[in-house]
Amino acid sequence: MLKRIVLFVAAGAALGAIVVALAIPTPSSSPALAADAGGAAVFASNCATCHGDKGQGAPNLAPPLAKNSYVTGNPKAVIHAVLAGMNGPIKVNGKPWGSGAMPPWKGSLNNAQIAAVITYIRSSWGNKASAVTEKQVASTK
Ligand code: HEC
């Protein structure tokens, strides 16, 4: 009988340890980073093929988004570029960017996904700019 109780208590302690280990906050369980992860996922599946998985860009395919003053500048311009796409000569950090077109995303991504991915590119790879909300996307044409 006593042996059973001891076993029961031991099992309880082990379970308790597991529960405590699971409850210790890990970075992926914080809400702020969870939102960021949404943007990271949208980026990985829609943008990284052209812009690179670290936003480094690719010659003749897509300009870098990392350390790009346009990306960290006026959020409305960035929202417009992602919603409507981009085509034609641009300058990236003052230097002419060769060629290529970016498809419009308003048909294939919803406003929440566009807000998340823009927030992600504005705050990754050394970029430090304000988050973009779904509301801001909805009010940009
Ligand atoms: C098919 C390749 C391709 C894909 C996919 C793509 N882009 Fe682009 N992106 C481009 C090209 C090319 C340009 C530059 C267009 C130009 O020269 O006018 C560009 C420009 C941009 C710019 C403006 C940069 C600047 O300096 O003006 C932003 C912001 C941007 N893309 C974000 C994104 C995001 C976010 C996604 C995913 C939702 C994405 N792009 C997907 C090719 C792509």
- Find the range with the poorest average confidence among 37-41, 78-82, 123-127: 37-41
Question: From the CA of 10, how far away is ligand 1's center (Å)?
Answer: 58
The reported pLDDT for the residue numbered 98 is 79
Identify the pLDDT of residue 26.
44
Q: Which atom of ligand 1 is nearest to the CA of 117?
A: 35
User: For the chain, what's the residue count?
Assistant: 141
Name the residue of 42, 43, 49, 50 to mutate for ligand 1: max ligand atoms within 8 A of Cβ.
50
Per-residue pLDDT at 16 exceeds 70: no
Question: What's the 64 CA to ligand 1 centre distance in angstroms?
Answer: 9
State the Cα–Cα distance between residues 64 and 84, nearest whole angstrom. 19
Percent of the residues in the chain that have a pLDDT greater than 70, as a whole number: 74
Listed in sequence order, the DSSP H helices in the chain are 2-23, 31-46, 48-51, 75-84, 111-122, 134-138
How does DSSP classify residue 27?
A: G
Class of CATH domain 28-138: mainly alpha
Distance 50 CA to ligand 1 centre (A): 8
Q: What is the mean pLDDT of residues 92-118?
A: 94
Q: What is the band of 1 on the pLDDT scale with cuts at 50, 70, 90?
A: low
User: Is the pLDDT assigned to residue 134 strictly greater than 90?
Assistant: yes
Instruction: Report whether residue 71 contacts ligand 1, using a CB cutoff of 6 Å.
Output: yes
Q: For the chain, which residues make up each domain, given as ranges?
A: 28-138
Which residue reads 């690719």 in tokens?
Answer: 58
